[in-house]
Amino acid sequence: MPTLENIELLLFYTNLQEEVKSLLISTEDGATPEEVFTDLALSLLAESGETENYRLRYDEKVSRRGIEHKINAYALSENHETLDLFITIYNGTDKIQVVSKPEADKAFERLLKFFKITAYKDYVSMIEPSSEIFDLAHTIANAP
């Protein structure tokens, strides 16, 4: 018999998926389900005081070996002392799925690689200044 916690989790998940679908229909900017989900998840984190001033900024490099690096969003504190980087693992299925440790580790490695190439290599010179990720890359590259 399902527990009350499981029922609440399923209800939350179902409502979240419906909200993602609804926002996808109403948005005109061509956002992907992953981007809409990321925005919803970060708004929940912001409401609970876990992050602030977040910005959706997607960047991904894919090579023959697969995804090299990836970032979905970031939050930079007003005093520039704290930088939060976010990566999303979004499946968008009707059934709740467990994210395995290897899958979470791989996502973290992709995010860490984004940070490393931005901080220690000249990634900022390889991207267009008009790119939505340029400001973040420039900030990281020029951090003291």
pLDDT at 106: 96
What tokens were used for 118?
A: 């931005």
Say if residue 114 is exposed, middle or buried (CB neighbours under 10 Å; 0-12, 13-18, 19+). Answer: buried
Query: Is 0.85 topped by the overall pTM?
Result: yes
What tokens were used for 5?
A: 């916690």
Reduced to 3 states (helix: H, G, I; strand: E, B; else coil), residue 86 is strand
Domain boundaries, the chain: 4-141
Residue type, 103: E
Bridge pairing between strands 54-63 and 83-86: unpaired
Q: What is the mean pLDDT of the chain?
A: 92
Number of residues in the chain = 144
Chain segment 7-66, per-residue pLDDT in tens: 899 999 999 999 999 999 887 778 899 999 999 999 999 999 999 999 999 999 999 988
